[in-house]
Amino acid sequence: MTGRILLASGNAKKLKELRRVVEAAGISGLTVVGLGDFEAYPEPVENGASFEENALIKAREAVARTGLPSLADDSGICVDALNGMPGILSARWSGGLVSGSSVDEGNNDLLLAQLSDVPEDRRGAAFVSVCALVMPDGAETVVRGEWRGAIIAQRRGGEGFGYDPLFVPDDAAAGGRTSAELAPDEKDALSHRGKALVQLVPLLRALA
């Protein structure tokens, strides 16, 4: 085995999450590397119709480019009142239409506007994460994690990224806090991505 796994993402916070999962599982001898550790290559077009398809597109491209076992995550927020949207479009929901804001801020602003007339008891949502692990020999494993909760009317918290400041998990352990108010280890134990990644621990251990 190589003793290395590539997270096919340029998101430094996702990279930290995967490294925390590896550490928490007691996996020694496995180095988690990111796209920044390799010569840049054009991002593959994420034209899949599902989280599963897009995760596989990214992981397959990473294996082809680097020859390393590669893990890719495709994730988003699925809001009940919006018929499951933004879903796979979560990262680009505002389409750059909100000027003067970061991408995350623009996406959050648009989501809040779309839910402005929706009452509290109809603001249910779920974070979804699908992780695809693709091996150099072509073996593929796809796992899914979901995290139920609700969208609140204004941002709270400075941790996390994306829609975290608007999402209050149903979990009693969260105590009514948003996922942006949870410490990293608390979030890992509850989150959609944590639930997906923990399913891959036996395979990650085999790579060490």
Q: Point out the annotated binding site.
A: 9-14, 74-75, 161-164, 187, 192-193
Q: Is 38 left (phi over 0), alpha (psi -120 to 50) or beta?
A: beta
Cis amide leading into 69 (omega within 30): no
CA distance 169 to 83: 19
End-to-end CA distance of the chain: 7
Fill in the DSSP letter of residue 133.
E
Reference 171, options 153, 192, 157; nearest CA is 192
* 74 tagged catalytic: yes
Catalytic hit among 37, 73, 74, 80: 74
Which segments are annotated as binding site for substrate? 9-14, 75, 161-164, 187, 192-193
Cα separation, 180 vs 165, whole angstroms: 5
- The overall longest dimension of the chain from CA atoms, in Å, is 54
The strand pairing partners of 143, in sequence order, are: 131
Strand partners, 147: 127
Instruction: Report residue 156 as tokens.
Output: 């709270």
Backbone angles phi, psi at 180, to 5 degrees: -85, -5
CA angle 30, 132, 29 (to 5 degrees): 5
Catalytic residues: 74
